Amino acid sequence: MRVLLSTIGSRGEVQPVLALASELRALGQDVRLCVPPDFRDRLEGLGFDVVPIGPALRRTTLEQVRKSAGDTVATQFETITVAAEGCDVLVAAGALQFAARSIAERMGAAYVYAAFCPITLPSERHAPPPMPWRSPGETDNLALWREDAQRWNTMFGGRVDAFRAAAGQEPVDDLPGHVFTDRPWLAADAALAPWPGDPRVVQTGAWIWPDERPLPDELREFLDAGEPPVYFGFGSMHAPAEVAGIALEAARAHGRRAVVARGWAGLAVVDAPGCLGIGEVNQQALFRRVAAVVHHGGAGTTTTAARAGAPQVVVPQMYDQHYFAGRVTALGLGAATEPGVPTVAALTEALDTALRSHAAAREFAGRVRGDGTSVAARHLLETVPLTSA
């Protein structure tokens, strides 16, 4: 079977797609990846066939993403059509997947939509992710999801229907329902991010790529030279430059050293004793050796820290990060700050809570499953060829 795995997200969406691709390849399947160009070299280095889609995200600001949102429909139809040639199934993972199902229908291929966070899938039991344009004061979950659907249909529905009409396909009345299908997948750990009971959703567990890279010598020597430090990182978020200095002050307030991941923000790490700046490393290995993980609340980082038994401080910025901030707090795995850039006092206080959550975080680690990727791969091979797009 030939499978196309498609995502237009950053590392938090590409990494789980890589995990599923690796598992499917190990099971003898032919896999192609359609991902942003930022990840092409790395994935091709792992032996995958890669079709790049869209602009390089590392050089794209959030405001540019908003302004070019309409262009993504055309980009997806053009690029995924080429990438999907000869494929038996298309798996669209993550947000804003507008074209894959229409392309699957044209080609007679199967189609699966997979989300990485429960609140990105509609349910009467939760509201959609917080967004600036939400109706003020509205608390009815279904009303908020209807508002979301109307916005999708208004902003993107016409563009999608134009491409469908050109291929002789019927228009789509409900774009979110069309994208998600009536049986979407949820690639999230059931203990950390449970689906609230609706049996139509297939919760596979998180797709975790087993990272076996050794830590860089400089980082390993830093870790060996003292007590476990506090890790600070904001992944693919374009975090403000002052975050690095705030992080170091918060760590010092607790007598801790700091490891600061430069990330896509290119954080300028303070040149001071007890502080080490790092690039992209094996988080699975690193998080087992730190006192706490301070991060933006992406699904991948939250899951990796939880699985490592590391206490967490979530500093949410947008979208599903608010959900994971709430889960970390509710589960007693640490604390969360207000969205945006925290003050030194706020981050110091949250870090105090996290450092006192060590025992709870270690206990919870045993509840985070590591077989979500194999569950998803088996489910794909056993059921998807029997379904239609």
Task: With a cut of 60, say whether residue 312 has pLDDT above it.
Answer: yes
- Residue 68: what pLDDT? 61
Over range 17-37, report the average pLDDT: 97
Task: With a cut of 50, say whether residue 389 has pLDDT above it.
Answer: no
Task: With a cut of 60, say whether residue 215 has pLDDT above it.
Answer: yes
Instruction: Determine the straight-line distance between the first and last CA of the chain, rounded to whole angstroms.
Output: 16
C-alpha distances in Å from residue 126, one per residue of 19, 197, 282: 28, 11, 33
Contact 350, 313 (CB under 8 A): yes
Confidence of residue 340 (pLDDT cuts 50, 70, 90): confident
- Do residues 35 and 55 both lie within one domain? yes
- Residue 341: what pLDDT? 85
pLDDT (tens digit per residue) in 38-65: 999 999 999 999 999 988 876 655 455 5
Domain count, the chain: 2
Geometric angle at alpha carbon 128, from 127 and 132, rounded to 5°: 115
Alpha carbon distance 266, 244 (integer Å): 10
Over range 119-145, report the average pLDDT: 88
Task: With a cut of 50, say whether residue 371 has pLDDT above it.
Answer: yes
Q: How far is CA 281 from the centre of its chain?
A: 17
- Do residues 352 and 378 both lie within one domain? no
Q: Find the range with the poorest average confidence among 1-15, 87-101, 212-226, 264-278.
A: 264-278
- Do residues 310 and 382 both lie within one domain? no
- Residue 271: what pLDDT? 67
Contact 362, 288 (CB under 8 A): no
φ and ψ at residue 379, rounded to 5 degrees: -65, -40
- Do residues 203 and 227 both lie within one domain? no
Task: With a cut of 80, say whether residue 290 has pLDDT above it.
Answer: yes
Alpha carbon distance 185, 52 (integer Å): 24
Confidence of residue 134 (pLDDT cuts 50, 70, 90): confident
Average pLDDT, the chain: 91
- Residue 244: what pLDDT? 75
- Do residues 117 and 231 both lie within one domain? no
Over range 108-133, report the average pLDDT: 93
Geometric angle at alpha carbon 117, from 334 and 389, rounded to 5°: 165
Write out the residue range of the structural domain in which residue 332 sits.
217-365
C-alpha distances in Å from residue 386, one per residue of 115, 128, 139: 21, 31, 40
- Residue 230: what pLDDT? 96
- Residue 365: what pLDDT? 97
Alpha carbon distance 136, 143 (integer Å): 12
Confidence of residue 138 (pLDDT cuts 50, 70, 90): confident
Confidence of residue 360 (pLDDT cuts 50, 70, 90): very high
Maximum mean pLDDT: which of 188-192, 236-240, 273-277 = 188-192
- Do residues 265 and 343 both lie within one domain? yes
- Residue 64: what pLDDT? 56
- Residue 108: what pLDDT? 95
Alpha carbon distance 207, 209 (integer Å): 7
- Give the CATH number, domain containing residue 282: 3.40.50.2000
Q: SS3 sequence, the chain?
A: CEEEEECCCCHHHHHHHHHHHHHHHHCCCEEEEEECHHHHHHHHHCCCEEEECCCCHHHCCHHHHHHCCCHHHHHHHHHHHHHCCCCCEEEEECCCCCCHHHHHHHHCCEEEEEECCHHHCCECCECCCCCCCCCCCCCCHHHHHHHHHHHHHHHHHHHHHHHHHHCCCCCCCCHHHHHHCCCCEECCCCCCCCCCCCCCCEECCCCCCCCCCCCCHHHHHHHHCCCCCEEECCCCCCCCCCHHHHHHHHHHHCCCCEEEECCCCCCCCCCCCCEEEECCCCHHHHHHHCCEEEECCCHHHHHHHHHHCCCEEECCCCCCHHHHHHHHHHCCCEEECCCCCCCHHHHHHHHHHHHCCHHHHHHHHCCCCCCHHHHHHHHHHHHHHHCCC
Residue labelled with tokens 């969205």: 339
Selection from 388, 219, 142, 193 nearest residue 301 by Cα: 193
- Residue 267: what pLDDT? 63
The rounded percent of the chain whose pLDDT value lies above 70 is 91
- Do residues 231 and 320 both lie within one domain? yes
Confidence of residue 164 (pLDDT cuts 50, 70, 90): very high
Geometric angle at alpha carbon 16, from 128 and 161, rounded to 5°: 55
Q: Which residue type sits at 129?
A: P
- Do residues 107 and 184 both lie within one domain? yes
- Do residues 313 and 332 both lie within one domain? yes
Which position has the higher pLDDT, 197 or 66?
A: 197
- Do residues 134 and 36 both lie within one domain? yes
Q: SS3 sequence, 332-356?
A: CCEEECCCCCCCHHHHHHHHHHHHC
Threshold 0.85, pTM exceeds: yes
Contact 89, 114 (CB under 8 A): no
Over range 98-120, report the average pLDDT: 96
φ and ψ at residue 209, rounded to 5 degrees: -85, 125
- Do residues 224 and 287 both lie within one domain? yes
- Do residues 145 and 273 both lie within one domain? no
Q: How far is CA 80 from the centre of its chain?
A: 20
